[in-house]
Amino acid sequence: MADVLEATTQEAAEVKAPQMTDGFHLVIDALKLNDIDTIFGLVGIPITDLARLAQAEGMRFIGFRHEQHAGNAAAIAGYMTQKPGICLTVSAPGFLNGLTALANATTNCFPMILISGSSEREIVDLQQGDYEEMDQLNAAKPYAKAAYRVLNAEDIGIGVARAIRAAVSGRPGGVYLDLPAKLLSQTMDALEGQHSLVKVVDAAPRQLPSPDSVKRALDVIKNAKRPLILLGKGAAYAQADAQIRELVEKSGIPYLPMSMAKGLLPDTHAQSASAARSFVLQEADCVVLIGARLNWLLAHGKGKTWGAAPKQFVQIDISPTEIDSNVAIAAPVIGDIGSCVSALVAGIGAGFPKPSSEWTGAINERKNKNLEKMAATLAKNPSPMNFHSALRAIRDVLKTRPDINVVNEGANTLDYARSIIDMYEPRKRFDSGTWGIMGIGMGFAIGAAVTSGKQVVAIEGDSAFGFSGMELETICRYDLPVCTIVFNNNGVYRGTDVNPTGGKDVAPTVFVKNARYDKMIEAFGGIGFNATTPEELTHALEEAIKSGKPTLINAVIDETAGTESGRLTNLNPQSAATKK
């Protein structure tokens, strides 16, 4: 094994010549054959040479400082492209660091493959204490859509093909592929090796909905008085943008986008009911869910959020077991979103009833009232800056650049940015998603920048930023056009809590006061800005975007401005208990 571990790329190349190949080459060849051109990862035993070889063979290897962020980059690349993003890690601890991202990808239905080197089976299974020993396959299983191990070089092609198909077909998710060190150095005849590779044909086949289910759905919609369409990130993922627009516009039904579905239709679209969200959720009598789950983000489809009006749900999803997960679904339509939405559109002829002007009028009235209220809040200029005045400045700059990718995490920073920053193009907003996870920031930003080649603006709470802040070095190393804006309010949620004992330790939510996050990026050659007013923030963001360079803006926010847990206060046991 020591020989394997110390093998250099040159040695690996020698093993290959003239008619032999090895596990290292077969893995790279299998990925390339399937049009995978980028690996996000972090090297070490036993996969350093795999990364070297990938680069030597023309793939892009983006090296990170922590595996979780490499995994998040891979996951968001998968979401953006419908091709599984690849994350490569070392054994046990590296694998576990990547596993968080794999689990998050599975939870969010993002296709990715976590490829990990692993220790020798003989030693791991007898628990004899190998270097970085761990039963990785079994550790991955509960958190992955599928998990495979390859033991023989001739099976690498099949292993990679299975992983790709599992990641992208049906409901997308995270797949684990376990590659023991010994496999990588196994040799075999080069020609046989080449023949063992598999080019996956039709990795995510279309799944047509049954005509009965389409008819049932159309009947439910037809009979509704106050219909609503709810677009989730599954709808954005499906890349059925034209069909979805046609459904919305042809039916005339008002719609609400979930956070990552913002921009699927521009947020300024006349039928968007975002500014009247609470009203439409309560008042609608028919809700057409398209690639959105009735999980906690939608209050499980019941309770106060959904009001007293009885509702019928139509749900379009590729996963049949999603149906009736929280409430009864009157009309499930199972299939891929493109096919299902097209089938619905085909059934909406000239005689199909449009929503009444009573319904759309009531929504518009509510929208206008709320927008006016919001405009008044946004127009204020408190000193120090608060979330609203800072986000107003960012909104106005981003309005001029609809092509920019937006990454967003934090508590207040996430909640306010989601509603204040309009999106105009699909798949440009990437955030904490289904788990409400902190730490996706720099990984998603790097993944989005590498995948799109375009500018990214990451709007980050100061706590949220801390989870992945070291990846600023990665951003600088690859000279990526990422502008990170840290909403610095001196702590988690806010910076004003005090230790009730009067002791030396600060309160659990408090950070170092007046930290200068902009100095961090300067350490790696990036450009830092410090902004204390909306005008300074506007100027810094404009400069940052103009430069196309790695930049970070330390946006100084009033430390009293935040609310505990942003808009999720009801999930805190303390506040829940007090409410009872």
Pairing of strands 60-63, 85-89: unpaired
Residue 483 in tokens: 């502008």
459 binds ligand TZD (CB under 6 A): no
Q: In 126-266, which residue ranges form alpha helices assigned H by DSSP?
A: 136-140, 156-168, 181-185, 190-196, 211-222, 233-237, 241-251
196 binds, among ligand ADP, ligand TZD, none (CB under 5 to 8 A by kind): none
Site for ligand TZD in 400-419 (CB under 6 A): 410-413
Cα separations in angstroms, 111 against 38, 41, 85, 87, 448: 14, 16, 7, 11, 14
Based on CB atoms, which residue is closest to ligand ADP, 62 or 341? 341
Give the chain's length.
580
439 binds, among ligand TZD, ligand ADP, none (CB under 5 to 8 A by kind): ligand TZD
Q: What is the spatial distance between Cα 310 and Cα 308, in angstroms, rounded to a whole number?
A: 6
What's the closest the beta carbon of residue 573 comes to ligand TZD, in angstroms? 14
234 binds, among ligand ADP, ligand TZD, none (CB under 5 to 8 A by kind): ligand ADP
Residue 50 in tokens: 């795999």
CB of 73 closer than 8 Å to CB of 105: no
Residue of the chain from 62, 80, 294, 437 that contacts ligand TZD (CB under 6 A): 437
566 binds ligand TZD (CB under 6 A): yes
562 binds ligand TZD (CB under 6 A): yes
462 binds, among ligand TZD, ligand ADP, none (CB under 5 to 8 A by kind): ligand TZD
Residue of the chain from 348, 492, 527, 537 that contacts ligand TZD (CB under 6 A): 492
Site for ligand TZD in 136-195 (CB under 6 A): none
Based on CB atoms, which residue is closest to ligand TZD, 183 or 486? 486
Q: What is the spatial distance between Cα 265 and Cα 393, in angstroms, rounded to a whole number?
A: 23
Cα separations in angstroms, 217 against 2, 214, 227, 353, 370: 62, 5, 12, 14, 32
DSSP string, 432-474: SGGGT-S--HHHHHHHHHHHH-S-EEEEEEHHHHHTTGGGHHH
Binding site for ligand ADP (CB under 6 A): 108-109, 171-172, 232-234, 237-238, 258, 260-261, 291-293, 295, 297, 317-319, 322, 336-337, 434
Cα separations in angstroms, 287 against 191, 220, 284: 56, 10, 7
**What's at 38, amino acid-wise?**
T
Based on CB atoms, which residue is closest to ligand ADP, 257 or 447? 257
Based on CB atoms, which residue is closest to ligand ADP, 317 or 518? 317
462 binds ligand TZD (CB under 6 A): yes
**Residue 47 CA neighbour count, 13 Å, CB half:** 28
Contact region with ligand TZD (CB under 6 A), list: 7-15, 37-45, 397-405, 488-496:
488-496
Contact region with ligand TZD (CB under 6 A), list: 116-124, 320-328, 338-346, 462-470:
462-470
CB of 496 closer than 8 Å to CB of 554: no
Closest-by-Cβ residue to ligand TZD is 461
Closest-by-Cβ residue to ligand ADP is 234
* Contact mark string toward ligand TZD, 376..405, x via CB under 6 A: ------------------------------
User: Crossing angle of helices 357-379/412-420, nearest 10°?
Assistant: 120
Contact region with ligand TZD (CB under 6 A), list: 139-147, 284-292, 455-463, 541-549:
455-463
Q: What is the spatial distance between Cα 33 and Cα 194, in angstroms, rounded to a whole number?
A: 10
Based on CB atoms, which residue is closest to ligand TZD, 291 or 562? 562
Burial call 506-521: b when 16+ CB within 10 Å, e when fewer:
beebbbeeebebbebb
Based on CB atoms, which residue is closest to ligand TZD, 316 or 561? 561
Residue of the chain from 117, 443, 461, 528 that contacts ligand TZD (CB under 6 A): 461
489 binds, among ligand ADP, ligand TZD, none (CB under 5 to 8 A by kind): ligand TZD
Based on CB atoms, which residue is closest to ligand ADP, 204 or 397? 204
CB of 504 closer than 8 Å to CB of 572: no
Contact residues: ligand TZD, CB under 6 A = 410-413, 436-439, 461-464, 487, 489, 492-493, 562, 566
